[in-house]
Amino acid sequence: MKHIIFDKRLLMLFVLLLLPVTSALSAQGLTAFTVTPTTGGGETYTVTIQILAFMTVLSLLPAALIMTTSFTRIIIVLSILRQAIGTAQTPSNQILLGLALFLSFFIMAPVFNTAYTAGVQPYLDEEMSSEVAFAKASEPFYEFMMNQTREADLIMFSEISGHGQLDPAKKVPFSILLPSFVTSELKTAFQIGFLIFIPFLVIDIVVASVLMSMGMMMLSPMIISLPFKLMLFVLIDGWSLVMGTIASSFYV
């Protein structure tokens, strides 16, 4: 019982000691949202709002990485290659994602460097506002996406959105450029995958024909053709050819 009374007294003393601190904090307050006008007629926000916006952008970063870089084309080509060879889970999904991610970093390195030099570094040095820095940093990505996008896709999405004919003297709105870029990437990825698929398909047809002529209809052609496809892929240095073809298909 004495220990309980002692603990209660110690707790009350601790609460009394904290009262001045809590009252001071409540009197001072925490400014969550403050807008400060700038000399140029714009507005700046408090650091808490900027951090909140930054965290929101980070949550959208995976989608931006997939949709605005070379990642989409690479992962589709690698997936078609694995299916053409006939290996069900070799390489695994984690390995394919890692290959696509690091190859995307290799291809997009000039774009990242230009964006950092033009927008991120001046913003960190407090030489320009966040709006101007974002516009400068997005310019290299805009040029990269425009170089990979087909004109037919731009016209199609422009007509769907009711934007009308695109003026060559003006920049294409990002709302039209993004779906056009993704559609063009899908088309290019499937074209490359089709060319990769043909040699392995020929091997499957030849093996199936030989087995049919020998009367081995109950034997699966995939079991016989898989070693030949692996041997062919290794002899021609297939991984280097595929990676080099994907990397050279971009115009950075």
146-176 in b/e form (b: 16+ CB < 10 A) is eebbeeebbeebbeeeebeebeeeeebeeeb
Confidence (pLDDT) at 32? 47
Confidence (pLDDT) at 41? 53
Confidence (pLDDT) at 25? 40
Q: 81 with 193: CB under 8 angstroms?
A: yes
Confidence (pLDDT) at 168? 65
Measured distance CA(243)–CA(104) in Å, rounded: 11
Confidence (pLDDT) at 90? 80
Taking 70 as the pLDDT cut, the residues of the chain under it are 1-50, 52-54, 57, 167-169, 251-252
Q: 181 with 68: CB under 8 angstroms?
A: yes
pTM for this predicted structure: 0.72
* 240: its two tokens: 């280097």
Task: List Cα–Cα distances, 251 to 97, 140, 144, 153, in angstroms.
Answer: 22, 12, 7, 18
Confidence (pLDDT) at 6? 42
